Amino acid sequence: MPLTWKIISGNRIYNLVPHSKMNYKHLFGPVNSRRLGTSLGVDLIPFKYCPLNCVYCEVQSTTHLTLERSEYFPITEILTELDAFLSTNPHLDYITFSGAGEPTLYSKIGDIIAFIKTNYPQYKVALLTNSILLHDEELRREILVCDLILPSLDAVSQEAFEKINRPVPGVLSTDIIAGLIALRQEYHGKMLLEVFIVPGINAHDAELILLAEAINAIKPDEVQINSLDRPGTEDWVTAADPDTLKHVKKVFEKLTNSKIEIIAKLKADPKIEVLDKDIVNNIKSILIRRPLTAEDLASTLNLHINEVSKILRQLSSEAKLSISRENRGVFYQWIQ
Ligand code: SF4
């Protein structure tokens, strides 16, 4: 017998299984996010299914370059995890669709958002997306009830777009911009547009001017300038130096009407509670999705650095822990 029945979106009902002891496969964190505060991550997509293979991707190269929207995992599996965790009434600033793939590839994302909004309306929902599928009217309709959408746009010229984002062949940057403009016209929540600066490709004035024109057409609430903080997929990608970031900010401020921010660094949040009492599993689930330093982990999970360092030392005997030394420190990643 099912434990609970949940109404999803007016006329759809899903049958959830009992969840006394849950091994979370799709939820991670909550993490202390730079932009979202205490954020429960929801990963809807198999590892590295994405329409892009960005040179700066902090996870690793895309293994499945695809535009196909599908129910990659049974929706009841994801809803059961959400129901198990949210029914404990955790403190969260956002429930965020993100992870190691593009969340909008999940064909039932609309039902999952509707589930949260119907059954746990006290929580705000955020979506991180690379914007590729926003030309799809049906997808745009599915995500309209999000409280916050954080789409990306790194380049306008097709040449720079292909160099940075390495899309599925045939994807045009003009279509992405058209999708973003259409979303802005239909969506009344908050939109923060992220522009990732890759020195040598999109930090020169010609590309910045094109980006400023696109920003004026899209009209996001804010533009967030980002740069490499963790190791990217390609070794040649470097972080933009502070002067470059300030220059980008100045150009956008001069040429657009949007608020422009350079994304700030992590700060510890004392309110955070971790999803999994088993800290080791929680660290692994975060390191599967992105490489972090011990300090990043301590800050993200609000743990003492000594505790994190001790766990990383224990895990370092396992072949799955990849360790790399970068300019910003030693980065750890858990390879599946
Ligand atoms: S950065 Fe995001 S959009 Fe780019 S390849 Fe990685 S997961 Fe895909």
- Best mutation site among 102, 131, 166, 237 for ligand 1 pocket (most ligand atoms within 8 Å of CB): 102
For residue 185, the Cα-to-chain-centroid distance in whole angstroms is 23
> Cα angle vertex 141, ends 138, 143, to 5°?
115
CATH class of 292-336: mainly alpha
Cβ(102) – ligand 1 distance below 6 Å: yes
The answer, yes or no, to whether any atom of ligand 1 lies below 6 A from the CB of 53, is yes
Question: What global pTM score does this model have?
Answer: 0.84
Residue nearest to atom 6 of ligand 1 (CA): 57
Per-residue pLDDT of 77-133, as tens digits, reads: 999 999 999 999 999 999 999 988 999 999 999 999 999 999 999 999 999 999 999
- Given a cut of 90, whether residue 17 has pLDDT beyond it is no
Instruction: For residue 155, give the nearest of 213, 233, 242 by alpha carbon.
Output: 213
**Letter for the amino acid at 30?**
P
Ligand 1 pocket, 50 CB below 6 A?
yes
Ligand 1 centroid from CA 44, angstroms: 14
Distance between CA atoms of residues 109 and 3, nearest Å: 23
* Residue 128 near ligand 1, beta carbon < 6 Å: no
The response to whether residue 275 sits with its C-beta less than 6 Å from ligand 1 reads no
* Ligand 1 atom nearest to CA at 53: 5
Residue-wise pLDDT tens digits, 181-236: 999 999 999 999 999 999 999 999 999 999 999 999 999 999 999 999 877 888 89
Q: What spacing in Å lies between the alpha carbon of 164 and ligand 1's midpoint?
A: 10
Q: Are strands 222-226 and 49-50 parallel, antiparallel or unpaired?
A: unpaired
Q: Where are the domains of the chain?
A: 4-275, 292-336
User: Which pLDDT belongs to residue 273?
Assistant: 59
Instruction: Please give the CATH number for the structural domain made up of 4-275.
Output: 3.20.20.70
